[in-house]
Every structure is written in C-alpha cells, then in structure tokens.
Chains A and B, each alone.
Chain A
Amino acid sequence: MMTYLIRRIAIIIPTLFFVSIIIFGLQQLLPGDPALALAGEERDPQVIQFLRHKYHLDEPLPVRYALWAGGVLRGDLGESIRINKPVLDLVLEKLPVTAELAFMALLISLTIGITAGVVSAVKNGTFIDYGANIFALWGLSTPNFWLGFLLIILFSVKLGWLPASGFVPPSENLAQNLATLVMPAFVLGNASAAVLTRHTRSAMLQVLSADYVRTARAKGLDERVVVLKHGLRNALIPVVTLGALEFGTLLSGAVLTEQVFTIPGFGKLIVDAVFNRDYAVVQGVVLCTATAYIVLNLLADIAYFLVNPRLRA
C-alpha cells in the first residue's frame, strides 16, 4: 500500500514536467508576436522594444523556458503583460470562483446523473429507461454556449428571475452569488450528468444482478430497500470516485461556460489570454489546473483503493 502510494506520488513529477513543456511549447508556437499584440494599437516601436526586453521575449526558447520554470519553482508564475499583475495573484483571485462553479456543477450533475442512472437501471428496457437516458444525454447533445444563451434569454430577459451574467462573491451576498451561478452550473453540469448516468446505470445493473442483492430479495425485503440500501451504496463506489475525477475536468472544462456567462474564473482568463498572447497567464493557469486535476486523480485512486475491499486484499 505504501509503495503504491509513494510510486503514485513520484509519478506526478515527470507528468507535471511534461505539462509544463506542452503548455509552454503551445504558447510559444502561437503565431504572432506577444510584444506587438500587447503593445497597444499605436504599436509604438519603443514600447514594443521595452516589452520584449522586460519579458525576455528576445531570448532563445530554452532560456525562456528555464527562466519561467525556475520562477515557477520559486512560486513566481510570471506576470500578465496586459494588466501588469502577477499571475499568482490572478490565480488566487479566480480559483475560488471557478472552484465554486465546478462544485455546484458537480452537485447538479451528481443529482441528475445518479437519479437518472438509478431510474434507468431499475426500469431497464422500458420507456422510462429511454426517457431518463435522453434527459441525461440532452446536456451532451447541445453546444454549451447555445444552451447557456437560451437560458439567459428565458430566465433573465423574459422572466427576469436570474441575472444574465456576472458574478457576486459569496462573501458579499450569498443569495446573489447563488443566483449568478445557477445557470452556468447547470450548463456545465449537464454534460457530466450524462457520463454519470451511464456509469450509475451500468454499476447499478451489475450490482442488482449480484448475489447479495438476490439474497436480499429472497429474504423478502422491500424492493425499494433493496435498490437503495444494498444496490445503490455499492454502485456508488465507482461513481463517487468518478465524481472526484469529474470535478477535475469540470474545473478545466468551464472555459466556454465562463465566457458566455462572463464569470471571472479561470476559463475566461485562459481563453482571453490565448487570444491576447498573454502567454504567462495561460502557462501559469494551465499549470495550476493541471496540478489540481492530477492531484484529484491521485486522491480518487487512493479513495478507490481504500474503499474497494477487493483490491485491498
């Protein structure tokens, strides 16, 4: 067990190294000159020179990687050329926002996913099964931005129930905070709901035909008890660990949703930075989300290991 753990943790290091290479490489590959792109529309040659020099844009690639990586190891993720702010500050500011959005999305997707999965498994083969399936698949079958925009038109413009965009921190006003996140969390969580439905359904089907369930039924227990107490609890094991993984993906998958709903989180930050060639921002933020994803994966693996008695033996 310990050796497994140590090995898993040790693997993180080369993985993160490759993440840094991939994201650094991608940014530098992007056509266009960051200094030119960020110097402003007057394209003052002196400003361009200054930016090139200040951000080491005139140095060869390996030198720039070394400078950046060295900084990262010291906790300095570089600076946003566009707004002169340290990337670390931006990350710390926006992490809670995206995390809250991802968390709410996860709750929504777990609710929809598990419910639809259970219903689907219990009523396997019937129209309810197909119905639940389609309901869950709906989120996967519509482009994010489109669903989001429709929701905005319906709930904000036509009904006026929810704010169309923007974000209010929970510390300022919890009710408004939830109001700004409901629609984006729904849009984001919808897609994951389908995945969770599938898994819940398969896991439930497997479990429901398992011996101990048959025993419970034979003992004469009420069907609902059988399903919920014996079936669901065991089916939840793989589902919950998957949920933890989903959280990591949601964290990074919020890119478009934040763009549509103007939520000032990671996703919006990265997309804008790619188009502005504010490469330090992209590199720093992606490194953070990748780390979060990898750590969550690790925790999920450990949890699965601990929770699944069969593997432990």
Chain B
Amino acid sequence: MTAILDTEANLAELPDDQPWRRALRRLVGRRGAMVGLAVVLFFVLVAVFADHVAPYAATATDWSAVRKAPSAAHWFGTDEIGRDVLSRVIFGARASLMAGVISVLISLSFGVPIGLLSGYVGGFLDGLLMRIIDAMLACPFLILAIALAAFLGPNLTNAMIAIGISAMPAFVRLTRAQTLATKVEDYVEAAKAVGNSHLRIVLRHILPNILAPIMVQATLAIAAAIIAEAALSFLGLGQQPPAPSWGSMLNTAKNFLDRAPWMAWFPGLAIFMVVLSFNLLGDGLRDALDPKHK
C-alpha cells in the first residue's frame, strides 16, 4: 500500500492562477480518466440505489436453488447457500466502496492535519512526528492492518478503521512535503508579513494549494483500500457473512471454482473494474494537474 502511494516524486508545484479550469479541461480530454470516472459513478449509483436495483435481498437464501448457473431468474447465478449473486454484487458494492472511501477519509482526517502541523511547525515536533511516521511506514502495512483489525474485532467498520490508520502515514509524508514546499512561497511569506494568524495561513493559503496532489493520492488510495479490504476478508477479518462484500464473496467462491465459477467471476470482475477505474481516474487527475505533461 505504501509503495503504491507515491510520496514526493514527480508532483509539480501548481501555478496559482486558474489552475482548476485548465486542469479540468485537461482531465476531460484524457479518455482513460473519463472512462474511469464513468465506471466509478456507475457503481456509486448502483450502491446508493441498491435497494431499488437489486432483484433480491442480499441475504435471502433459497435452499432449493443452491449453486445454480446464471439464468433468467438469477442473472449472475446463485451461491453456495442459494443467494442471488447479482444482488450480492450490488449490495457488495456498498461494502467495498465504503471500505475504499471511508478508509481513505480516515487516513485523510488524521494524515493531513498531522502533515500540515509537522511541516508548518518544523523543529523538534516535526522531528518527533516524522520518526513515528517513519516507524509506522517501516512496519508492513498489512500486518498493521491485521493487528488493528484483530484488536478491534472482525467486521467491516473495524476493517475500515484499521486500513485507514495503517494507510495514514503516507498521507502525512505527502502533506508534510507539500507543506514544506509551499511554506516558503512568496504569497505565504506575504500573508505572514501582513500578520495573519498561523491557523489562517495554514487553512487559507497552504492547504488549498496542496490539495491537488493529495486528491490524486486519495483517489489511488481508494483503489488500494478496496483491495486491502478484500485481503482482510481473505483472512477472515473484513466484512463478515452473511453481509456481502466482493472480497469475502471471492474468498468463498474460490472453493467452488470448479462447479460454480460464476460465484467468482462477477465479484472478481466488479472489483477489477472499480479498482482499475479509480486507478485510471487518479492517474488522469495527476496528469491533468501537472502542467509539464500533455
């Protein structure tokens, strides 16, 4: 996870005039990112309106229809205790998307303030915080997540907290680096000279100008977080049955690959499409926000 989140390399500084409109135009021009965005929006809509879209309840079992192949009644077939795979994929979108988004929100809520603080204040506090963050980064991400998830208890919410906290250090590093670079800019010096309070400077002048690379990383991190939830499910720590999540569906499905492959194809495809889309979107965002690229 930490490897996937780039830190300082290749993130250009932003010119501070009309960056958003130009970036937006560039973003729209990149086909990969647009496709990614479209897919993400599609799945978000599916997740939000799951109750109306799904033909069955996610946990409705039908013991007479165990492991049936895709048919008119069950477009994606049924699983090992007779539940409709299509409905579970739809409801699973909720779990997986939440796992992605909320984990990253947690990372951001802790990571960005700490990074801002560390970068802006500097000195001993910065040194101390960075040593702790370095230490967290040195521990294998998945082990931190597993230990935290085991500590909190195996369920989706705790998995999100565990992933969020384990992924936080990378955001701290990124925010801090951006803060350090922005801190010495003219407009920040000017704001200081005029007598603005530190809090105002950080919130009004620094934070908006470093949001872009953070957003890029956040998008990519959502992709990684969805995969991380699937990994925790594989170990029995994520979403617990009977509630569906794509990761836990895949984990169960691999025992039935021979006789009921549809149990695996659909959640596997869903994860692949959503995660790929977030990755494309994130890459597109980065390219759009970096004026050196076409």
Which residues does A use to contact B, with CB under 8 Å?
11, 14-19, 21-23, 26-27, 29-31, 124-125, 130, 133-134, 137-138, 140-146, 149, 153, 191-192, 194-195, 198-199, 202-203, 205-206, 209, 238, 242, 245-246, 249-250, 252-253, 255-256, 259, 267, 270-271, 274-275, 282, 286, 289-291, 293-294
Contact = CB atoms under 8 A, between A and B. Distances in A.
B32 A130 contact: yes
A16 to B, nearest CB: 7
Main secondary structure of the interface of A (DSSP, over half): helix
A289 B141 CA distance: 12
Contacts of B292: 205-206, 209
Contact of A143 (B247, B283, B293): B247
Contacts of B235: 259, 271
B139 A140 contact: no
B136 A22 contact: yes
Contacts of A293: 137-138
Contacts of B271: 141-143, 146
Q: Which of B134, B264, B276 has the most CB of A within 10 A?
A: B134
Given A15-B131, A141-B279, A142-B268, A255 B143 contact: yes
Given A26-B147, A27-B147, A143-B247, A18 B140 contact: no
Contacts of A137: 276, 279-280, 283
Q: Which of A202, A286, A293 has the most CB of B within 10 A?
A: A202
22 contacts: A11-B134, A21-B135, A22-B136, A26-B147, A30-B151, A31-B150, A137-B279, A141-B223, A142-B272, A142-B275, A143-B250, A144-B231, A145-B251, A149-B254, A199-B10, A202-B10, A203-B10, A252-B140, A252-B143, A253-B140, A274-B150, A275-B150
B257 interface: yes
Given A133-B283, A146-B254, A293-B137, 17 more contacts: A16-B135, A18-B134, A22-B139, A23-B139, A29-B151, A134-B32, A140-B275, A141-B272, A142-B275, A146-B250, A195-B6, A245-B3, A249-B3, A253-B141, A253-B142, A256-B142, A267-B140
A282 B140 CA distance: 11
B148 interface: yes
Contacts of A198: 6, 283
B139 A249 contact: no
Contact of B151 (A31, A143, A256): A31
A192 B227 CA distance: 14
B230 interface: yes
